[in-house]
Amino acid sequence: QKEVEQNSGPLSVPEGAIASLNCTYSDRGSQSFFWYRQYSGKSPELIMFIYSNGDKEDGRFTAQLNKASQYVSLLIRDSQPSDSATYLCAVNDSSASKIIFGSGTRLSIRP
């Protein structure tokens, strides 16, 4: 059973600080990695994707990938209350045409 593991949280971070979200995955063949944000009662939206080892920055968001350690992370700089949501890590299933979602980390930014 291929798995994507995330700490469920809640992760509480003060406004303006850096929020760090982590994810590990079991499928060594996975090549594509994604972060989705889901507000309560809404559907997920894609915020970042990363395919190569290292860092990828997009505005206040940085995705980090280490395939050797099977580890993906998302950093959110200058956290805002509007960043409070559940963040879902997802990776492609190397043997099937689908992606596998983690259970999500609930992030709370306190003013």
Which chain residues interact with another protein by CB under 8 A?
Answer: 32-34, 42-46, 49, 88, 90-92, 97-99, 101-104
CB burial of 59-93 (b: ≥16 within 10 Å; e: otherwise) equals eebbbbbeeeebebbbbbeebeeebbbbbbbbbbb
What does the block give as tokens for 9? Answer: 């949280």
Which residue, 18 or 53, has its beta carbon nearer to another protein? 53
Closest contact distance (angstroms) between CB of 33 and another protein is 8
Nearer to another protein, 40 or 82 (CB): 40
Closest approach of another protein to the CB of residue 20, in Å: 20
Q: At its nearest, how many Å lie between another protein and the CB of residue 88?
A: 7
